[in-house]
Structure formats: C-alpha cells, structure tokens
Amino acid sequence: MPQVISIGGVALGVSFKGPSVPLGWEEYAPFRVEKPADAGVLSVTGGRRPARRGGASELKAAGGVKTASYSRDDFSLRMSPKACTLSVAENPYSFDSALRVLYSRLLADREGLLIHAAGLIQRGRGFLFAGKSGSGKSTLTRWVGREKALSDELTALRFDGKAPSIYSTPFWGELSRGKDSRQAPLAAVCFLGQGANNLVTRLSTADAFRSLLGTVLWFDPSPRATARVIECAARVAGSVPCLSFAWKKDSDPWPALERAL
C-alpha cells in the first residue's frame, strides 16, 4: 500500500519495491496524509549504483506535455499520466533531489511552482523571500524564527482558485528540516538582497515576472510545460505585491515590509 505525501497540496503516493525504503524517508513524515494520491503513485527502486564517485552529474531532462524523464548518475525518474518510476541510489540526498525534480513538474502541471525562496509566515500571511545563494534567505529565516518558516530554501506555491498560497516543503538548505507542514495565503514576494538599512522598493509587474522566473526550479524542456510555468509566474507577478527588499542583517524586517504593503 503506497504511503501518500502532500507537498503544495499535491498528493503523491510513494511505494517502495524491495525491503528497504530510502534513507531519510522518515524525514517526510510531516508531509504524510491520509487521502488519495491525486498525482498518482511513484514506485521507488533503490540500489542504483552511480557510475562515478562523488558529486552528482548533470541532470538530463526530456519530455512532452504529459510525460517526462529526468536522469543523472544517482537517479532516473520517469513520469507518465498513469505512473511514475524512480530508480535511485541508496542515500538520502539522491532521493531528495529526485523528489525536488518531480515536484517541480507536478506543481507546474497544477498551477503551481517550486521556488528558490524562503517561505515565512507573519500574522497568518505568507511571504516569499527569493534570492540567489548568499542573499540571506537562511540568515533571515534564522532571525525570524524557525517556527515561522515553511522552508529556508525551496517553497511551494500554488493557486487555489484566484489567490496563491505558499506551502511548507521538506526541501531545506542550511537549516535542518522543519517538523511540520503548513500553508498560508501569499501576501508578497520579496526579492532579497543585503543592505545597510532596510529598503523596500515595489517592482513593476514586468520586473517582478522577470525576477520570479529566475527563481523557479524548472528542468523540463517541453515548450507546453514551460508555457505553464510562465503563465503561473505571470499570474503571481500580477496578483500580489512584488518587492525588492534590501535587508539589514539581524534587524527586524517586518516594519519596512508592512509599510510597503
């Protein structure tokens, strides 16, 4: 019987062939749900032996509107409308990587995105803090407090009707994984940088769209699937305030952000 996990509101059944489950599977416990897997079932086979030692090879992706395949040395993932299969090396990193790739596609197929951003909740509202490595996502998350964080690295976003919400993921960066799964309506997208003082600038929809596209986790070469990502990013850019936020390290970010909204 597959165990079902839900990330970004997308429920995926996961079944393991053979006696063992991937190392680190217990870390996904906060995302287990007792409901049908609307995204199908992922059949996982462990024991894949990478061809090379140390480091992951480049990801190769191929696909169409309904099917996709992704492979690198340590995993091979195939998706079709009826089933997904994963052959993976037996370490927690490979399974985690494969799940990130899989969910980047599952979310995109369902009006969602997986975004390189810290997701934080303030007074019941969700804020995305997007930025490159070193921009301060994890530092900000640490300062705001783990209890308010959906992730410090990869946050799921999905439209539920007209409005987007952001969701916890098991995909964390510098900080260890959170212990729960939460969601919040998206109040703003903040493109994070560092500054001597907290400075917030509102972006035009076009600039927000361009910045947001640079933060979306996406591997699929299919034009139609890519078009869905673009449409979703455009909807986000047009539906919530998008801000450039230069954050003064170790200062309270919320007053400046609240003033801008």
CA 40 to CA 45: how far, in whole Å? 16
Q: Which CB, 158 or 228, lies closer to another protein?
A: 228
Work out how close the CB of 208 gets to another protein at its nearest, in angstroms, rounded to a whole number: 9
Work out how close the CB of 18 gets to another protein at its nearest, in angstroms, rounded to a whole number: 35
Binding site for another protein (CB under 8 A): 204-206, 209-210, 213-214, 218, 220-227, 229-231, 234, 237-238
Cβ 102 vs Cβ 80: under 8 Å:
no
Q: Which CB, 89 or 157, lies closer to another protein?
A: 157
Q: Which CB, 99 or 225, lies closer to another protein?
A: 225
Work out how close the CB of 244 gets to another protein at its nearest, in angstroms, rounded to a whole number: 17
Cβ 101 vs Cβ 219: under 8 Å:
yes
Please, what's the largest Cα pairwise distance for the chain? Answer: 55
- Interstrand relation of 183-194 and 125-130 (parallel, antiparallel or unpaired): parallel
- Measured from the Cβ of residue 78, the count of other Cβ atoms closer than 10 Å reads 17
Q: Which CB, 21 or 234, lies closer to another protein?
A: 234
Q: Which CB, 44 or 107, lies closer to another protein?
A: 107
Q: Which CB, 83 or 227, lies closer to another protein?
A: 227
Work out how close the CB of 93 gets to another protein at its nearest, in angstroms, rounded to a whole number: 23
Q: Which CB, 109 or 152, lies closer to another protein?
A: 109
Tell me which H or E stretch contains 210.
helix 205-213
Residue 120 phi, psi (nearest 5): -130, 150
Work out how close the CB of 210 gets to another protein at its nearest, in angstroms, rounded to a whole number: 6
CA 63 to CA 84: how far, in whole Å? 13
Question: Which region holds residue 80: left if phi is over 0, alpha if psi is between -120 and 50, else beta?
Answer: beta
Helices 205-213 and 223-239: angle between axes, nearest 10 degrees: 130
- For 59, what's the count of Cα atoms within 13 Å in the CB-facing half-sphere? 20
Work out how close the CB of 67 gets to another protein at its nearest, in angstroms, rounded to a whole number: 15
Work out how close the CB of 144 gets to another protein at its nearest, in angstroms, rounded to a whole number: 30
Strand partners, 113: 157
